[in-house]
Chain A
Amino acid sequence: MLVNDAPGTVGQPRSTAIEPLLSIRNLAVHIGQTAAVSEISLDIFRGEFLGVVGESGSGKSVTARAVLGLLPAHARVTGSITLDGEELLGASDQRLRRVRGGKIGLVFQDALAALDPVYTVGDQLVEALLAHHELPKKEARARAADLLAEVRIPQPVQHLSRYPHELSGGMRQRVVIASALIADPALILADEPTTALDVTVQRQVLDLIAEISASRGTAVMLITHDLSVVAETCDRVTVFYGGLLVEEAAAVTLFDSPRHPYTSALLRSLPRLGTQGPFEAIPGSPAQIRGELSSCPFAPRCSFVTEDCTTHVPREHSDAHGRHRCLRPLQSGST
């Protein structure tokens, strides 16, 4: 049995008067017999940079797809997802199409797949601009060039007439970010935006997203498997494992003193420059949830496992430090 409280305020205390921009409550997603996401509650506030970290099968991308209404038709979704107070679960396709690319801008991993190869960069941006704004075509083209300038593409006017294949991976991802900004979104949902990029380009794209978030006041939900990327960008971090949100804390707190054994083990397994000796692996394989979750999904790999961990799903605890789902959380200050 899962028991869920509203997520506690984390990091700096927030007054209850401030409404979250996006609010996920008790989200559960079943795909076939698999509980892909179990009882996830999560808030994002305006202007905030939130990291969602998890391995394959953790439920991080399924949660993102639920927010966007992009889950397969046979997925069973329960709970609530509100954006600016408006319920998105069960909203019409037409409504959800307005949300995607409207209030929520999207940046996915594969920029080449996100762009249409037979249209120029300019044509694609103009088409999307005209879908969201009533504008003369000429003005739309000028705005498209402004967007390319905002994402630091040199010679923006010339780049309007380029095709996606003529651009480098980093430039393509900048074009995708530009198109995400078209409707002046309140939230940018970025799913592994730099995973396919080289480190030097990754650095530039992360800086760009942080810069845009700062200058426009746009909230960012950054979904990634990479804790280092999160450390570089996020104010607050949530960690997913086996379809559960296992920990949430302010970035500095989470990296300094993780409470969940998974977070701690993941931090120790990271290769860091300037360290020696064998790598600290987490034994076992990432969780594969079949059927309903009936125990802590991390229990088979956890070095602190107790019998209780294998008989029921830990309930959520929240305190000044953050939130976690663990029966034997690590003490603050120990890693």
Chain B
Amino acid sequence: MSSIIEVRHLCKSFRSGRGLGKGSISRAVDDVSFTVERGTTFGLVGESGSGKSTTARIVVRLLDADSGNVLLDGQELLGLRGRELFRVRRRVQMVFQDPFASLDPRWKVGSLVAEGIRIHKLRPRAEQPDRAAEILELCGLSADVARQYPHEFSGGQRQRIGIARALAVEPEVLVLDEPVSALDVSIQAQILNLLAELQERLSLTYVFISHDLAIVERFCDQIAVMSEGRIVERGSPQTLYNAPAHEYTRTLLSAVPVPDPRRRRQRVPREARDEVRP
């Protein structure tokens, strides 16, 4: 296997706090390095403020880093401008968390998906609507939805539209920023299965950002656990789950609620409450 993305010593600070001049500097991303193998899923997991989303945004060039490197097939992305940046952006696309916020409500679904095809001139104008319909079908939607507006769809369907929009430009890498966190549990599984299927069919590489350890463990080939801007531990899901080396990973794992009422009863003594029950 060969690596498609290589992140080296990435750093990013934000000035935070109160008014002018008095701000403090917070290190959102602090010397982060990782490698993503082609065709695999790399999970970045952590709590809010861990720096996982900032890292993702730097990789897709929505944010500039203070220092470090992001290489795509060996080519440095940071510092790219104009035409070169435009070409790279086609190859690395992002899917956002909130499918209600990421789709322009005034655009029909067909236009939303065709926008990238048009901008990157991937098909002659006359073929663009058909291509958009084809991609929508790939994402499990019927071609008819092209004529509808985003508000006519449920959260799960909107996320399918968001994925179609990202795939329209035929990218090699998808950066998925909490792609199922805003969805109902029964729908989360649908979207994750769709993503797994698309990865297989289109040989995609995923960078998967999530706070949900149970999902990351099942969905990713490699996982990096982030805390306070740093990667504190990385490894295969099996290693991380069975033998977490870092204290923070253990804390995180033990905090995940377990869908089994019997397990809880052993942990929290209930005697006090039983006394007051009728």
Query: Is the A/B pair a real complex?
Result: yes
How far is B154's CA from A269's CA once the two chains are assembled, in angstroms? Answer: 18
Whether A45 and B186, one on each chain, are in contact in the complex, defined by CB atoms closer than 8 angstroms, is no
The count of chain B contact residues (Cβ–Cβ below 8 Å) is 44
B192 surroundings in chain A (CB, below 8 A): 279, 281
* Stretch of B75-83, B85-93, B209-217 on the interface side: B209-217
Shortest CB distance A182–B (Å) = 20
Determine the chain B residues whose CB is within 8 A of the CB of A46 once the complex forms: 276-278
Any A CB within 8 A of the CB of B193: yes
**Which residues of chain A have C-beta atoms less than 8 A from B157's C-beta?**
285
Which residues on the B side are within 8 Å of A225 (C-beta)? 184-185
Q: What's the Cα separation between A270 and B47 when bound, in Å?
A: 20
Is the Cβ of B278 less than 8 Å from the Cβ of A202? no
Question: In residues 117-157 of chain B, which contact A (Cβ within 8 Å)?
Answer: 154-157
Interface string of A209-233 (1 = CB under 8 A from B): 0100111010000000111110111
Residues of A within 8 A of B154 (CB): 285-286, 288
Q: How far is the CA of A275 from the CA of B251 in the complex (A)?
A: 19
Q: Does A132 make an interface contact (CB < 8 A)?
A: no
Is the CB of A199 closer than 8 A to any CB of chain B?
yes
* Residues of chain B within 8 A of A200, CB atoms compared: 47, 251-252, 255
> Are A228 and B273 in contact, with the CB atoms below 8 A?
no
The segment out of B22-30, B168-176, B261-269 that lies at the interface is: B261-269
Q: Is the CB of B156 within 8 A of A266?
A: no
Is A229's CB under 8 angstroms from B48's CB? no
Please indicate the chain A residues that have their CB under 8 angstroms from the CB of B261 in the complex: 231-232, 234, 251-252, 255
With A56-B155, A273-B217 known as contacts, the answer to whether A198 contacts B260 (CB < 8 A) is: no
For B189, the chain A residues whose CB sits under 8 A away are: 269, 271, 279-282
Considering residues A18, A227, A279, which has the most beta carbons from chain B within 10 angstroms of its beta carbon? A279
A46 to B276, CA, bound (A): 8
Closest Cβ of chain B to A70, distance in Å, is 23
Segment 87-129 of B: residues with Cβ below 8 Å from A:
none
Select from chain B the residue with minimum beta-carbon distance to A268. B189
A286-B187 contact in complex given A214-B273, A276-B218, C-beta closer than 8 Å = yes
Cα(A46)–Cα(B278), bound, Å: 7
Taking the closest CB of chain B, its distance from the CB of A85, in whole angstroms, is: 15
**A98 CB-CB contact with B under 8 Å:** no
Q: Does B257 contact A (CB under 8 A)?
A: yes
B 203-224 to A, binary, CB cutoff 8 A, 1 in contact else 0: 0000000011111011000000
Interface assignment of A265: CB less than 8 Å from any CB of chain B: yes
The residue in chain A whose Cβ has the minimal distance to the Cβ of B261 is A251
Return B145 CB to nearest CB of chain A, in Å. 13
Instruction: Specify which chain A residues have a CB less than 8 angstroms from the CB of B255 in the assembled complex.
Output: 199-200, 202-203
Known A-B contacts A200-B251, A210-B268, A273-B241; A266 and B186 likewise in contact (beta carbons under 8 Å):
yes
- Shortest CB distance B98–A (Å): 14
Closest partner residue, chain B, to A46 (CB atom): B278
Whether A255 lies near B259 (C-beta < 8 A) is yes
- Judged by a CB distance under 8 angstroms, whether B196 is at the interface is yes
State which of B47, B185, B213 has its C-beta within 8 Å of the C-beta of A273: B213
Q: Which residues from chain B contact A266 at a C-beta distance below 8 Å? A: 185-186
B256 at the interface (CB under 8 A from A): yes
Q: Chain A 48-67 against B: per-residue CB contact (8 Å), 1 yes, 0 no?
A: 11000001100000000000
Q: Is there contact, CB below 8 Å, between A274 and B273?
A: no
Cα of A228 to Cα of B185 in the assembled complex, Å: 11
Interface membership of chain B positions 48-83, coded 1 if the CB is closer than 8 angstroms to chain A and 0 otherwise: 100000000000000000000000000000000000
A37–chain B nearest beta-carbon distance, Å: 18
Question: What would be 29 A-B contacts, judged by CB atoms less than 8 Å apart?
Answer: A18-B278, A47-B278, A49-B273, A55-B186, A198-B48, A199-B47, A199-B257, A200-B255, A201-B47, A203-B255, A207-B268, A217-B276, A227-B259, A231-B259, A231-B260, A231-B261, A231-B264, A232-B264, A266-B185, A270-B185, A271-B217, A273-B214, A274-B217, A275-B218, A278-B193, A281-B188, A282-B186, A286-B186, A286-B187
- Chain B interface (Cβ < 8 Å from any Cβ of A): 47-48, 154-157, 184-190, 192-193, 196, 211-215, 217-218, 241, 251-253, 255-264, 268, 270, 272-273, 276-278
What are the 10 tightest A-B residue pairs by CB atom distance, in nearest-first order? A217-B276, A281-B189, A279-B189, A228-B257, A282-B186, A214-B273, A198-B47, A271-B214, A55-B184, A214-B272
